[in-house]
Structure 1
Amino acid sequence: MRINIIAAVARNRAIGRGNKLIYWLPNDLKRFKALTTGHTIIMGRNTFLSLPNGALPNRRNVVLTKTATELPGCECFDSLEKAIRHCDDNEDIYIIGGASVYSQAIAIADRLCLTEIDDIPENADTFFPEYSNWKEEHREEHGTDEKHAYRYAFVDYVK
């Protein structure tokens, strides 16, 4: 099994505000879909509730929650450890948020699939954990265009 963490992070590691993503980057969303489709995604309950249409299609949706036992299109577990125990050895798992799930998962993750945005947003209230000790494996730089107001890079890290 390979545990991946996927997120879009600002220069100060900001990832959200008010249970919403800070940035709307169409290419980041395309990359997210390409990487996670056909695989297991694990998320916290607030991340699930922030999805506009509920469970993401063509993926095994796993939600970590202490309160809900059933959410449409999802499997629910009360801990990250239990959720991972219910995954097969050959599964690619993607941790998709939020901040507390990222904090729990970073110690056991094999790879970070980050979109690093060249910006420091105002009023962010949610941050990605520190990852300066990870090694950069691949970087793909992108400039601004009509759909992307900030420069960004797709960066993969390994331990």
Structure 2
Amino acid sequence: MITMIAAAGENNALGKDGDLVWHLPDDFKRFKKLTTGHHIIMGRKTWESFPRPLPNRTHLIITRNRDFKAEGAIVVHSMEDALAYAKDDENTFIIGGGEIYKMGLDYASHIELTRVHGTFEADAFFPEIPDDTWELVGSETHDKDDRHNYAFTYETYRKR
């Protein structure tokens, strides 16, 4: 199984200047729960946005830069190379950014999308999810509260 996992605003905003534009502690917990013990595939900019590698995950970084090195991660140069490296993982996660998600649509079998209820200024966006290819199979809404500045909905999609 290959799962794209993301949090995106209603306008598909992912982030700005290498950072998220919201803080949702429950979404961070869910991300950790789902991805721990698995391979996570990301682009170089996403990797560089982390203060350090995420614990208990194998980091695969896709970059066109053949000289790029990343301590604590495996550097590859295509989605195919990343997926080949992770072939024995029962669920590999594609975690961004925008360009990597666009590539991932062709390979993923599932999408775990946290839809943040608001529109945001951003420079990275999640791709549109084509209705003819993807089916929404589950959703769970969370209201805004004292720990979350925005309401959000966990949406699970499966490729048709």
Q: TM-score normalized by structure 1?
A: 0.93
Matches within 5 A, 1:21-40: 21-40=20-39
CA contact (8 A) 2:23 2:149 kept: no
| Shift of residue 38, structure 1, vs aligned partner | 0.5
- Give 5+ residue unaligned stretches, structure 1: none
Aligned equivalents of 1:127 and 1:90: distance in 2? Answer: 27
Identity rate, percent: 39
- Give 5+ residue unaligned stretches, structure 2: none
Aligned to 1:64: 62
The one-letter code matched in structure 2 to 1:97 is G
Aligned equivalents of 1:97 and 1:44: distance in 2? Answer: 6
Q: TM-score normalized by structure 2?
A: 0.93
Report the 3-state secondary structure (helix = DSSP H, G, I; strand = E; otherwise coil) of the residue aligned with 1:20: coil
Aligned equivalents of 2:85 and 2:17: distance in 1? Answer: 31
The one-letter code matched in structure 1 to 2:158 is V
Aligned to 1:115: 114
Aligned to 1:126: 124
| Shift of residue 69, structure 1, vs aligned partner | 4.2
Cα RMSD between the aligned structures?
A: 1.2
Aligned equivalents of 1:93 and 1:120: distance in 2? Answer: 29
The one-letter code matched in structure 2 to 1:94 is F
1:82-106 alpha-carbon deviations (Å, 9 max, x no partner): 1111222443100000000000001
CA contact (8 A) 2:139 2:154 kept: yes
The one-letter code matched in structure 2 to 1:71 is A
Total equivalences in the alignment: 156
Which stretches of structure 1, 4 residues or longer, exceed 4 Å deviation after superposition? Answer: none
